[in-house]
């Protein structure tokens, strides 16, 4: 059961790391949490016995099924009020992994101990020692090169993730409908009435940035938001209300984002509305 305990502990450790840190440990555990743990937990629940599938198949399926489970979870969250965001994904995956680990534990308990899949560290160490002793000089050299390459690749990945290049500066700009998701925007309106959407901005510029938002309906200014001063990684969401001045179909409601007082549009989004006369 050691493997199940390790997956459970690593998954639980990730929660405070996400909340309180931004370092390499968070990234490494996050990659394991998303790309390995869900699939491994499912495979453990489906195949509790050691002879069901090979260790290589168990490992390969863990990565493949993790990708499928995370994608499916994201698809489901997109149609809920929570949306595809960090904490909904984190909590939903944690719940899924916990349920699968409990099922895996119960299924392993239901079969004979000598038939259960388990990781025996002493046995593995002996296997590795025997393998190393039987290797030729060339084989040992190749294994050392492979190990160094793997460590270098992981180190590079962590460094790149924790130290983004200066060129990787950007801002996130999005609009959400009434349910708090990227859908269900206003479509049909009556002249004289107003509608609203939630405008969101996330600063990824690695510096304090001032934002302004202007809302145009067929190039006529309808609403403004800002100035908003956001530090790096800060997020702002607020409702923006707009009202059309003329009736007509397929009117373009455009949301333009400006940075640091510039008159040039940095990002723009739009929706389409149909406006009818009252009565």
Which pLDDT does position 120 carry in this prediction?
Answer: 63
Q: Is residue 186 part of a domain?
A: yes
Task: Name the residue range of residue 67's domain.
Answer: 2-119
**Rounded to 5, what percent of the chain is helix, strand, coil?**
45, 25, 25
Using left for φ > 0, alpha for ψ between -120 and 50, and beta otherwise, residue 52 falls in alpha
Pair (196, 109) in one structural domain: no
Number of domains observed in the structure of the chain: 2
Residues 194 and 112 both lie in one domain: no
Of 60, 94, 119, at which residue does a domain stop? 119
**What does the pLDDT read at residue 87?**
79
In a domain, 271, yes or no: yes
Q: Domain of 272: which CATH number?
A: 2.60.40.10
Q: Which of 90, 43, 47, 38 is nearest to 66 (CA)?
A: 38
Residues 6 or more apart in contact with residue 44 via CB below 8 angstroms: 3, 4, 100, 101, 104, 108, 117
- Among 119, 153, 180, where does a domain finish? 119
76 shares its domain with 11:
yes
Domain membership flag for residue 159: no
Q: How far apart are CA 114 and CA 186, in angstroms?
A: 62
SS3 (DSSP) at 217? strand
Residues 16 and 114 in one domain: yes
H-helix or E-strand spanning residue 268: strand 267-276
Task: Identify whether 125 is part of a domain.
Answer: no
Whether 208 maps to a domain, the answer reads: yes
pLDDT value of residue 240: 92
pLDDT by residue for the chain (279 residues), tens digit each?
Answer: 778 888 888 888 877 776 666 666 677 777 777 788 888 899 888 888 877 777 778 888 888 888 888 888 888 888 887 777 777 888 888 899 999 999 989 988 888 877 877 776 555 555 555 555 666 777 667 767 766 775 665 566 555 555 555 557 889 999 998 888 888 899 999 988 899 999 999 998 888 999 999 999 998 899 999 899 999 889 999 999 999 989 999 999 999 999 998 889 999 999 999 999 886
Residues 14 and 115 in one domain: yes
User: What is the reported pTM?
Assistant: 0.48
Residue 52: the pLDDT is 73
* 9 and 106 fall within a common domain: yes
Together in a domain, 111 and 216: no
At 182 the pLDDT is 80
Statement to judge: residues 12 and 110 lie in one domain: yes
Question: Is there a single domain that holds both residue 95 and residue 194?
Answer: no
Residues 12, 115, single domain; the answer is: yes
State how far Cα 61 lies from the chain centre.
21
Is residue 194 located within the same domain as residue 257? yes
């Amino acid at each position: 059961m050691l493997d199940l305990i390790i997956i459970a502990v690593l998954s639980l450790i990730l929660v405070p790391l996400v909340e309180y840190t931004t370092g390499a440990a968070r990234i490494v555990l996050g990659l394991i949490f998303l790309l390995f743990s869900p699939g491994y937990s499912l495979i453990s629940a489906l195949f509790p016995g050691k002879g069901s599938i090979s260790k290589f198949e168990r490992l390969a399926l863990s990565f493949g099924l993790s990708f499928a489970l995370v994608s499916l979870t994201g698809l489901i969250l997109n149609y809920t009020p929570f949306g595809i965001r960090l904490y909904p994904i984190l909590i939903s995956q944690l719940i899924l992994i916990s349920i699968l680990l409990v099922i895996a534990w119960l299924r392993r308990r239901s079969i004979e101990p000598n038939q259960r899949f388990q990781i025996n560290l002493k046995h593995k160490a002996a296997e590795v020692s025997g393998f190393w002793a039987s290797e030729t000089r060339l084989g040992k050299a190749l294994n050392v090169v492979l190990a160094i390459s793997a460590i270098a690749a992981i180190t590079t990945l962590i460094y790149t993730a924790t130290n983004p290049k200066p060129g990787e500066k950007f801002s996130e700009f999005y609009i959400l409908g009434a349910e708090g998701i990227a859908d269900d925007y206003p479509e049909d309106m009556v002249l004289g009435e107003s509608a609203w959407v939630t405008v969101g901005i996330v600063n990824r510029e690695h510096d304090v940035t001032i934002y302004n938002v202007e809302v145009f309906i067929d190039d006529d200014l309808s609403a403004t938001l800002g100035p908003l001063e956001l530090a790096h990684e800060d997020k702002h969401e607020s409702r923006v209300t707009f009202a059309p001045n003329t009736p007509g179909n397929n009117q373009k409601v455009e949301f333009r984002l400006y940075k640091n007082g510039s008159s040039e549009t940095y990002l723009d989004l739009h929706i389409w509305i149909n406006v009818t006369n009252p009565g």
